[in-house]
Structure 1
Amino acid sequence: MQVIANKVETEEDLAFVREQVKDGLLTWFGRSDYVRAMEKGDVLPFTSLEAGAHSALTAMKRAVDNCQQDWDKFYHQAVEFHRRNALAWMNTYPGEDVTTQIAPDFSLSTLLTSLSL
């Protein structure tokens, strides 16, 4: 398991996180003027993002790209999520069973293999 720390403001904060998670720390984010501006509705170019945050995002993308994907498991979890939401609330809006949208013979791994992804 890897950890991404957020709102790290001081070296002491970072030392605390490292002490807690040992080698599990993937990266961290500090305070960001870019993020604060975006929260206030100021749309800034991505090039305005601080170098530290950019490095953290790069580390996160690299880690995700290096993960082994279990596409069948991912698809089955998505189907189960859809079914549960259909029963809990989604069916009431259209007035029909939206689980019929699920294609029983669909295979995400087969599709991705055919696309060479």
Structure 2
Amino acid sequence: MNSTICHAALLISAMLAALPAMADRLLDFTLFSPPEVSQRRIAEPVVSWLVHPQASGFCQQASPKDGFVSRAEGCVYWQTQASRCTIVTTEQTTHSQLGHLFVHCLQAR
């Protein structure tokens, strides 16, 4: 009996492992290296963080700005001359989201 349960558990585990993973864009734990200084358009930005329920819409309407990037549940806009970036997220966010938006800030793209 125990052998049958063990085999069934192994079979279920193998089947689950074979399914394609549904990655959550907000939970990205892959390691990366920060962009080289030569790849940064804003080498040492002053960064602000705002919380807004409609983050993407906020970035679209923000002014002044030289550009912006929107992601699920957040965005970032920047001013290259002033070396400023503003990260905007909804009330619920992740460290991964903040990291992605910060890298977009450094690269100003």
**TM-score of the aligned structures, taking structure 1 as reference length:** 0.24
More strand by share: 2
More helix by share: 1
**TM-score of the aligned structures, taking structure 2 as reference length:** 0.25
